[in-house]
């Protein structure tokens, strides 16, 4: 397998984008990525579109995106892995380059969720699981799934609603500084979060990520070409992929996502990282915070802390910039937005910019010590999981960053 590096990234403005078509929205990200890499459409040999769809009018999004963005007649495909569709697209494009089937490939994530009314979107997201058993028989919605996890976590470890609201406050703090975020400029307080209406007890409105339109794009190149294209390649060092049961009643507990743990174990093993105290190997991380409980479980599934200790990271503000492990300095899904098919690619864009130290404003830029970053993207309620490790060096072993 060849070394693969990210050489160009692009990101559209997230939010309610009724001003664009699907193709136009994708082009905002694709154009920016091409300019970043100083490449032309003809240089892209293969592209993959992450798009969960259902709520959008376009049933063949890869075809529409390819034509509008001038990428035809290059080979393409659309992939779906629920909320991890963007990371699935990145993984597929990565494999194309690593295998030698392409020298330059592009992963594009795009979603137009506001083309459907909210009840339709809620229903389609609620189908992310065993639809006929859980949704049809018991009426479980997507917030309802994660409410099961939050109540179990609160019962087992003594966490409170206030604790989880602190996750939302952090992510809105950073999202308020991110001009591409859906909630750019909007900060909240713990009290505002606690007073927001319940969506599925104990999950409240401010515990939840929003419905979002958005797009992101990443250009990948082989080792030989990457060094010619850019002086700052960001290498994809490892990817872990796992799946979970469709039916939540078959899971042994509700305090973590086994698929995320297993995917992390794969990714860590390939680069020689032990699945404990992993905070010391990474300068920054983006994790899948579709709900605040999801972020806390991610800390533990990724081995930043032991099971049940994630809430301690929140209470001590150790996931802010300058803390033990800065998490979601772009606002996360909670404040940046969660356009299902674009989320995983957006994470790759952010991790690339963080390692390049090109994030603006600088208040969102993590301190880079060892040059490693991580993204954690979950589909459904742990039905899919993708863990991607990024590095400024192609082959070097993991190093330990100083504890501040």
Token pair 């194309």 is found at 96
Provide the phi-psi class of 74: left if phi over 0, else alpha when psi is between -120 and 50, else beta: beta
Exactly one of 11, 172, 288, 338 is catalytic; name it: 338
Contact 218, 352 (CB under 8 A): yes
DSSP secondary structure of 177-243: T-TTSTTTT----HHHHHHSPEEETTEEGGGBPPP-EEEEEEEEEEHHHHHHH-SS-EEEEEEEEEE
Give Dmax over CA atoms of the chain in angstroms.
Answer: 56
| 134 vs 271: CA distance, rounded Å | 38
Closest CA to 376 of 274, 304, 271: 304
**Phi and psi at residue 291, to the nearest 5°:** -135, 155
CA distance 198 to 50: 31
Stated as kind and residue range, the H or E segment containing 376 is strand 372-379
Question: Could you confirm whether 338 is annotated as catalytic?
Answer: yes
Nearest Cα neighbor of 9 from 236, 282, 220, 224 is: 220
User: Is 69 a known active-site residue?
Assistant: no
β-bridge mates for residue 79, sequence order: 50
Which residues 6+ apart lie within 8 Å of 195 measured at CB?
none
149-163 burial code (b ≥16 CB/10 A, e <16): bbbebbeebebebeb
Q: Give me the half-sphere count of Cα atoms (radius 13 Å) on the Cβ side of residue 178.
A: 32
The catalytically annotated residue of 83, 165, 193, 290 is 83
Pairing outcome for strands 372-379 and 104-112: unpaired
CB 66 within 8 Å of CB 55 = no
Distance in angstroms (rounded) separating the CA atoms of residues 218 and 46: 12
Q: How big is the chain by its Cα radius of gyration, in Å?
A: 19
Phi, psi of 39 (to 5 degrees): -120, 170
Active site residues: 83, 338
């Amino acid at each position: 397998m060849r070394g693969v590096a990210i050489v160009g990234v692009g990101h559209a403005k997230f939010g309610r984008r009724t001003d664009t078509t699907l193709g136009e929205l994708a082009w905002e990200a694709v154009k920016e990525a091409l300019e970043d890499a100083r490449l032309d459409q003809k240089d892209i040999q293969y592209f993959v579109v992450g798009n969960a769809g259902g709520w959008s009018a376009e049933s063949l999004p890869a075809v529409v995106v390819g034509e509008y963005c001038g990428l035809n007649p290059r080979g393409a495909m659309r992939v779906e892995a629920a909320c991890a569709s963007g990371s699935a697209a990145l993984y597929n494009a990565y494999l194309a380059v690593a295998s030698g089937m392409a020298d330059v490939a592009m992963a594009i994530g795009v979603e137009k969720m506001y083309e459907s009314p909210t009840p339709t979107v809620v229903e389609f997201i609620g189908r992310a699981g065993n639809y006929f058993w859980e949704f049809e028989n018991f009426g479980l919605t997507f917030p309802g799934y994660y409410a099961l996890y939050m109540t179990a976590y609160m019962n087992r470890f003594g966490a409170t609603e206030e604790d989880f609201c602190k996750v939302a406050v952090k992510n809105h703090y950073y999202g308020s500084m991110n001009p591409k975020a859906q909630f750019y400029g909007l900060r909240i307080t713990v009290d505002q979060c606690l007073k927001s209406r319940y969506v599925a007890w104990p999950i409240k409105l401010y515990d939840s990520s929003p419905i979002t339109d958005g797009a992101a794009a990443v250009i990948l190149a082989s080792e030989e070409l990457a060094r010619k294209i850019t002086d700052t390649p960001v290498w994809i060092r490892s990817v872990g992929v796992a799946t979970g049961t469709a039916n939540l009643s078959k899971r042994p507990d509700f305090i973590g996502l086994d698929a995320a743990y297993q995917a992390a174990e794969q990714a860590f093993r390939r680069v020689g990282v032990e699945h404990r105290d992993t905070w010391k190997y990474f300068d920054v991380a983006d994790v899948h915070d579709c709900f605040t409980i999801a972020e806390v479980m991610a800390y533990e599934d990724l081995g930043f802390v032991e099971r049940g200790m994630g809430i301690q990271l929140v209470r001590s503000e150790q996931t802010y910039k300058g803390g033990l492990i800065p998490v979601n300095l772009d606002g996360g899904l909670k404040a940046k937005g969660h356009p299902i098919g674009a989320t995983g690619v957006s994470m790759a864009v952010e991790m690339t910019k963080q390692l390049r130290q090109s994030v603006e404003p600088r208040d969102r830029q993590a301190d880079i010590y060892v040059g490693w970053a991580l993204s954690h993207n979950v589909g459904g309620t742990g039905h899919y999981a993708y863990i991607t490790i990024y590095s400024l060096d192609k082959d070097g072993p993991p190093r330990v960053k100083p504890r501040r």
